[in-house]
Structure 1
Amino acid sequence: MDLSDMFSESLKLPFSDYKNWLIFGIITLLSTIFGAYTSGNGIVVLVVAILGLIVELITYGVGLDTMRGAINGSTSIPTIDVTKNIVDGIKSCVVIIIYCIIPAIITLIVAYASGFLGSMMEILANYSATSASVPQTLVTSFELGMGVTVIVGIIVFVIFMLFEIIGLGLLAETGSISAAFNFSEIISKIGSIGWGKYIAFIIIAGVIAVVIGMIGGIIGLIPAIGSYIVALIINSYIILAFNYAIGLLYREA
């Protein structure tokens, strides 16, 4: 399947089942409402936070189930299964968090090794509260260290993002968190898809996401109800369409 067909099928998916799209849209709407509730009685805030977490896990779970459906050849939106969705949501969140933590740790190590952290701490400790000028050697060390850290950080985060997408596909297919970190299998699957096609998929998905995000931004300007319309329609649409697209891409492997 070429990329144009892949995205065409994915973008049409929500329109194939308005009922299940609306049900899922209500879930994404609730996630937004619960997430915005931050003031009031402490107990009420705690209860709302717990409910918000549960709804958010269901959202992630439905996304993974949509991806699984695409991998298995389904052409419909999955029905809500709260227990299954929560379990899938927990697994998805664990995988996503670990894929964020690893490059963050690597970037911190580079920041320390390059002298960026040391020079920054020295500047903050000895010069931020005084009018004394910072020695040029310290400025140079700070700038070089920051440059190295930023470049390495971007490269590492991009690499892990590439792995994470296929890792989530492996999670959807196998249900195993450990499978999502089988890097040799991930590299093999990307090779089967084709690195060029894979990178092109990510670029096209990014462009589409920006366009949909701009539409959502315009809708969000509607007084009082704009943000709720975005949560109900746009957020649910993005989750369903893009997870389905990832599933179709993964099936190419």
Structure 2
Amino acid sequence: MDAAQFTHDTVWGNWKRWILLVIWTIIFPLLGGYIMDIFRGSTVPPECNDWVRRFIDGIKYLVAGLIYSIPVIIVLLITFIPVIKEFISQITSESAELNYEAFLPFLMPVIGGVIVAIILGIIVTLIFTIGIIRMARMNRFFEVFNFREILKTIGKIGWGTYIIALIIIYVISFILGMLINLVMEAPFIGIIIALFLWPLLTIFESRYFTRLYDESGE
């Protein structure tokens, strides 16, 4: 409820800020910088100012996220490169049709690789969510990789509480995201409406994560 109220206070009656957030959604590093300010624990919505600082903060956010995603990317590459090679080999051959039986030996490795990637993705999400807030709070990039302190923070929140809280927010976000995607199906006006809705969902999630971090008492 606090996250919903915070999101409401961010844009309601403040069209200028809302329009700027729409622009920053398109120029994503700026929105990333705005998210970082929310992570710092402000009780009032940050203003859309200091574009340079926010852009730099947003780039740090994106770089940290990319580094965290490397293990998942590596697993997926190892999993799918043999399949892609086989596919390329077949389409460049003289045969007019694909030999689907040739892909059968890859089936179990692909299933296994995807399962490993999903497990890694869950672990990465658990750690990154706290790590990125630590980075914002302490204004030090490498705090996002301070795994000892990150795990200690999660321990203070309580692993059960933390995991359940993340499941709740991702279920809510999935449902709201699907609704926004449905809105986008409307010709012309749908994309415009969606652009005004996406930053609200992002702010809601960011405030939710912030309050979850605060449960650690740090």
For this structure pair, what is the TM-score category when the shorter chain's length is used for normalisation? 0.7 to 0.9
* Aligned match of 2:45: 77
What is the distance in 1 between the residues matched to 2:16 and 2:170? 26
- Tell me if 1:100 matches 2:100: no
What is the distance in 1 between the residues matched to 2:53 and 2:120? 33
What is the distance in 1 between the residues matched to 2:39 and 2:73? 27
What is the distance in 1 between the residues matched to 2:31 and 2:98? 52
CA contact (8 A) 1:58 1:85 kept: yes
What is the distance in 2 between the residues matched to 1:104 and 1:231? 29
CA contact (8 A) 1:68 1:169 kept: yes
Q: TM-score when scaled to structure 1?
A: 0.73
Aligned positions, number:
214
Aligned with 1:246 (options 183, 189, 209): 209
Code of the residue aligned with 1:92 in structure 2: it is: Y
* Aligned match of 1:42: none
For the structure 1 residues 66 and 21, does the alpha-carbon distance in structure 2 shift closer, same or farther, using more than 3 Å as the test? farther
- Tell me if 1:16 matches 2:4: no
- Tell me if 1:87 matches 2:80: no
Greater relative CO (CA pairs within 8 A, separation 6+):
1
* Aligned match of 2:22: 29
* Aligned match of 2:38: 66
Moved more, 74-83 or 241-250: 74-83
**Structure with greater Cα Rg:** 1
* Aligned match of 1:51: none
Gap regions ≥5 residues in structure 1: 1-7, 36-54
For the structure 1 residues 123 and 197, does the alpha-carbon distance in structure 2 shift closer, same or farther, using more than 3 Å as the test? same
For the structure 1 residues 222 and 192, does the alpha-carbon distance in structure 2 shift closer, same or farther, using more than 3 Å as the test? same
Gap regions ≥5 residues in structure 2: none
What is the distance in 2 between the residues matched to 1:229 and 1:123? 40
* Aligned match of 2:119: 155
Aligned with 2:171 (options 200, 207, 210): 207
CA shift, 1:156, in A, is 1.1
Identity %: 28
- After superposition, where does 1:107-146 map in structure 2 within 5 Å? 107-109=76-78, 111=79, 117-118=81-82, 121-122=85-86, 124-125=88-89, 129=93, 130=95, 139-146=103-110
For the structure 1 residues 221 and 104, does the alpha-carbon distance in structure 2 shift closer, same or farther, using more than 3 Å as the test? closer
What is the distance in 2 between the residues matched to 1:82 and 1:108? 36
RMSD over aligned Cα atoms: 2.8
